[in-house]
Amino acid sequence: FLPQVVKSARVMKQAVAYLLPYMEAERQASGAAAKANGKIVMATVKGDVHDIGKNIVGVVLQCNNYEVVDLGVMAPADKILDAARREKADIIGLSGLITPSLDEMCTVAAEMQRQEFDIPLLIGGATTSKIHTAVKIAPNYRKGQAVYVLDASRAVSVVSGLLSEDHRAANIDAVRREYEEIASRHARGSGREGRRATLAEARANRFAPQWRGYVPQRPAFLGLKVFDDYDLRELTAYFDWTPFFQSWELAGRYPAILDDVRVGEAARNLFSDAKAMLERIIAGNWIQPRGVIGFWPANSIGDDVCLFSDETRRERRQVFHFLRQQMYRTEDKVNYSLADFIAPLETGVTDYLGLFAVTAGHGIEEVAARFQAQQDDYSAILVKALADRFAEAFAEHLHQQVRRRFWPYAPDETLDNAALIREEYRGIRPAPGYPACPDHTEKRALFDLLRAEDNAGVRLTENFAMLPAASVSGFYFSHPDSCYFGVGRIDRDQVEDYAARKGMTLREAERWLAPNLNYTPEAVS
């Protein structure tokens, strides 16, 4: 299991660091040269800041005698390719978490083609897939081959197959034929969904609660509230441990995973290490959680939600643009948009919208760097994974405080952490870039209203990833019937409408909404 591999790598790397001067002296005396199985240049692509998965892959490859040159995060194409040429790399590996990174990977592939590279290009990360690699990335790189890697446990077998002197050509040819078949099926329409509702039909089938007689709870204040250096111990009660185990590729839900027949022992050992590291983080105050929340008068106008400067609702402060489900629905199911959960302006109902941005990433990079300087990748990855848990716990805790105190539409709520994880609370906190609001660009308006960089120390990259990486942001909706959903595939009529509402070109909108398109955009001439 990966935790065991990465943990054992700590001993190996520390031993090698100690022995290296002696080994080098012996090699120089004998004239022999050190020989790795291959050299891989790895990077998280431009605009993306997530690196836990990439770091695990790097350690696993190093354990199998591959030399890894890690360029870190937010690496542009020219930096990656310059390093690959300088290092005489055998393979380039790209990683990314947010959906805009998919487009950036296409850019790197096209640049590799232009610069006449022919080495394999590995693709990995939470939003990547074999279909996207075959349909979007591989066609940009005909001189070489883009190869999707599902997870860290597959990395060694994929790399060894691509670099095998005896089987390299056959393996690459097999991948190419498989990907061409995937792309062909996709072109024939298997990648698109069947009968769809037009945008007009979807809007006619919107979720329409009974607004007459509904009186939204007013927030305790309007404007911003800032939280600095929040108590770490208090946040541990809100941890959702399941994603932590998933980041280490241990499948199962907490706490049942601890007794799982196959992975239970590995999960228990990892959990023990995590709890010990948690105590060190708290005792050393290694993380300084910061956050900001805010509330504004709001009403919906179509599929948009307009925020107003004050209760007179005369001056528009900001507009958020939302998308609507377009799947064909039977009579008893609706086509949701987040705008449906805010009272329409014409109803005269005085509704509100909340926003938040929190982080548990301040200080964690320095801590991870100290561990890496000690050849301790295991602890470096562990603290980053725990920082992610702190950020999510902070978001969960603040949302609870919002429901009880700051916007008390559920003042008597008494849910335990398990119920919070099951989302049994009233209201929702969807985030831009996630299924109900897949467009990451909506973060810009959210961050501007919250003044998130000043108030929480969180900023956006050019592709709208949040920095520090252990950060969470989103909206607060209070309506009792509000729910989480996925927008799913959308058609050109909605994309054209959305682009017009946002003041974007159609091509810009198609770029940001690429994973949700139910059609193939026209090629750039």
- pLDDT of 523 reads 72
Indicate the DSSP class of residue 490.
B
Mapping DSSP to helix (H, G, I), strand (E, B) and coil, where does residue 337 land? strand
pLDDT over 90, % of the chain: 88
- Would you state the pLDDT for residue 198? 97
Instruction: For residue 61, give both structure tokens.
Output: 């490859």
Q: Which amino acid is at 44?
A: T
**Mean pLDDT to the nearest integer, 446-450:** 99
Give backbone dihedrals phi and psi of 490, rounded to 5 degrees, phi first: -130, 155
- Tell me the fold of 199-516: Cobalamin-dependent Methionine Synthase; domain 1 (3.10.196)
Token digits of residue 318: 């900001």
Is 247 marked active-site? no
Residue with tokens 């790795």: 36
The 8-class DSSP code of residue 45 comes to: B
Name the band, by pLDDT with cuts 50, 70 and 90, for residue 23.
low
459-503, pLDDT tens digit by residue? 999 999 999 999 999 999 999 999 999 999 999 999 999 999 999
> Distance between CA atoms of 233 and 51, rounded to whole angstroms?
26
Please check whether residue 122 is in contact with residue 93, taking contact to mean a CB–CB distance below 8 angstroms.
yes
Name the active-site residue from 48, 90, 376, 439. Answer: 48
Cα 424–425–428 angle (5° rounding)? 110
**pLDDT at res. 397:** 98
Domain with CATH 3.40.50.280 in the chain: 36-190
Residue ranges, CATH 3.10.196.10, the chain? 199-516
Residues 6+ apart with CB under 8 A from 407: 217, 219, 220, 295, 352, 354, 476, 478
Instruction: Given the residues 70, 90, 101, 132, select the one marked as catalytic.
Output: 101
Please compute, for residue 264, the number of CA atoms within 13 A of its CA located in the half-sphere on the CB side.
7
Confirm whether 48 is a catalytic residue.
yes
- Confirm if 448 and 320 have CB atoms less than 8 A apart: no
Do 485 and 465 form a contact (C-beta atoms < 8 A)? Answer: no
| Averaged pLDDT for residues 67-86 | 97
Q: Which option is the CATH number for 36-190: 3.50.50.60, 3.40.50.800, 1.20.1560.10, 3.40.50.280?
A: 3.40.50.280
- Biggest CA pair distance of the chain: 89
Mean pLDDT of 363-384: 96
User: To the nearest 10°, the Cα dihedral for 452, 456, 461, 463?
Assistant: -60
What percent of the chain is modeled with pLDDT above 70? 96
Closest CA relative to residue 474, chosen from 406, 419, 392, 404: 392
Q: Element (H or E) spanning 227, and its range?
A: strand 223-227
Rounded to two decimals, what is the model's pTM? 0.93
Residue owning tokens 């995060």: 73
Is 362 part of the annotated catalytic residue set? no
Q: Which residue matches tokens 């930096």?
A: 79
- Region 495-514 average pLDDT: 98
Q: Residues 335-339: what's their mean pLDDT?
A: 99
